[in-house]
Amino acid sequence: MNITFVTETDYTDTDKMEVGRIIIDGIKDNVSTLINDHFYIESEDTFIKLKQASIQELKNFFSYFSYSFNVDWSQYQVQTTIAFLKESDIRYVEQYVLINFKISYIDWSKLYTLHEFIEVHRQIISESKDVIYDIVTDIREEWSGNFFGLKVIIENTTEPVYKYVDFALEKLKEVHLLAIEILNNKFSSDSISVLYQFPQEIRAACNQYLMYFAQFLQDLGISAKTSLKEQANQVLFTVTPKDKRQALDVIYKALAIYIEASNEEISKNIIEGDLAIMQWKANIFHLRSQLELAKAMLQAKDETI
């Protein structure tokens, strides 16, 4: 890829300034601008071409570039910024891809607040080992809102940038869709949702125990349906009573008792009773046996290593 820049005078309604225009393989982009070390991309074609290059190829031209675009999984525009080191630049200690939303408080019209929306994103991202949560509050008189999203560190500067951009974008999609579902369920009057994160080795056993909760409720005289959805390394557990008049706080309390009962000391103290109690206790013991098996397998793996 052959990249060069030419300097042009860019005119606005009230001012003029010198900007750089990029030429890639002999084709000039007349809308994107290089100002100081920041390349503001306005052309999709230019963004696609630059993503094919590596940091090693790009770092001699600018320190970072950004591009905003729409996605089919969100009503909000996404902004991508790729930052990296130039040979003589010591401002950055790492190369990274930053993908975030820019959302205005003024345009917000959901049942939940923008702060709640951002906080759920933060909680989900904070549990991930692959990405870093990022937020920049931008409050001005003419616009008030936030940039928030996630950051992915570029560990190999010889690889094409698109590998990191695509990975970060897919991660943000997972987090975003899960956040919306959590908030929609939270503010729904006929269901409850709880977010769990289980280690991969015991996730299947824990999920199986959660799904038995519907039978646990049935034994209490509450008819409900449950669902599990795995996204972004987490499990969203939703309970919806069939009778909408059923108090959700009762189900919350029942779920707390149900989860706490899986504790070994508590499970030993559950007294024998009717068939429902015996079935519940059997499920607890099955869960605990799966946890012990997973623990033994991890220990054997560590000893082998």
Q: Write down the pLDDT at residue 44.
A: 94
User: Does residue 295 belong to any structural domain of this protein?
Assistant: yes
Query: Is the same domain home to 219 and 178?
Result: no
- Of 186, 205, 220, the residue that ends a domain is 186
- Of 141, 157, 186, the residue that ends a domain is 186
Q: Write down the pLDDT at residue 64.
A: 87
Query: Is the same domain home to 175 and 285?
Result: no
- Of 157, 186, 215, the residue that ends a domain is 186
Q: Write down the pLDDT at residue 139.
A: 40
Number of domains observed in the structure of the chain = 2
Query: Is the same domain home to 108 and 209?
Result: no
Contacts for 123 with CB less than 8 Å, ≥ 6 apart:
195
Domain range for 272: 192-304
Q: Write down the pLDDT at residue 298.
A: 66
User: Does residue 85 belong to any structural domain of this protein?
Assistant: yes
Query: Is the same domain home to 180 and 76?
Result: yes
Query: Is the same domain home to 210 and 85?
Result: no
Q: Write down the pLDDT at residue 163.
A: 94
Residue-wise pLDDT tens for the chain (305 aa)? 899 989 988 766 567 788 899 999 999 999 999 998 899 999 999 999 999 999 888 888 888 899 999 998 888 889 999 988 654 444 445 788 999 888 877 667 677 888 888 888 888 888 887 888 887 554 443 444 567 889 898 888 899 999 999 999 999 998 998 888 888 877 776 788 787 878 777 888 888 888 888 888 888 888 888 888 886 667 888 888 887 766 677 887 888 888 887 765 545 555 555 666 777 777 787 777 777 777 777 676 666 65
Query: Is the same domain home to 84 and 182?
Result: yes
User: Does residue 258 belong to any structural domain of this protein?
Assistant: yes
Q: Write down the pLDDT at residue 143.
A: 40
Query: Is the same domain home to 205 and 299?
Result: yes
User: Does residue 41 belong to any structural domain of this protein?
Assistant: no
User: Does residue 19 belong to any structural domain of this protein?
Assistant: no
Query: Is the same domain home to 156 and 87?
Result: yes
Query: What six digits make up the tokens of 13?
Result: 């309604």
Query: Is the same domain home to 60 and 182?
Result: yes
User: Does residue 15 belong to any structural domain of this protein?
Assistant: no
Q: Write down the pLDDT at residue 89.
A: 47
pTM for this structure?
0.66
Query: Is the same domain home to 234 and 291?
Result: yes
Q: Write down the pLDDT at residue 88.
A: 45
CA 98 vs CA 169, 170, 270: distances in Å: 9, 13, 50
Query: Is the same domain home to 198 and 179?
Result: no
Query: Is the same domain home to 84 and 204?
Result: no
User: Does residue 28 belong to any structural domain of this protein?
Assistant: no
User: Does residue 196 belong to any structural domain of this protein?
Assistant: yes
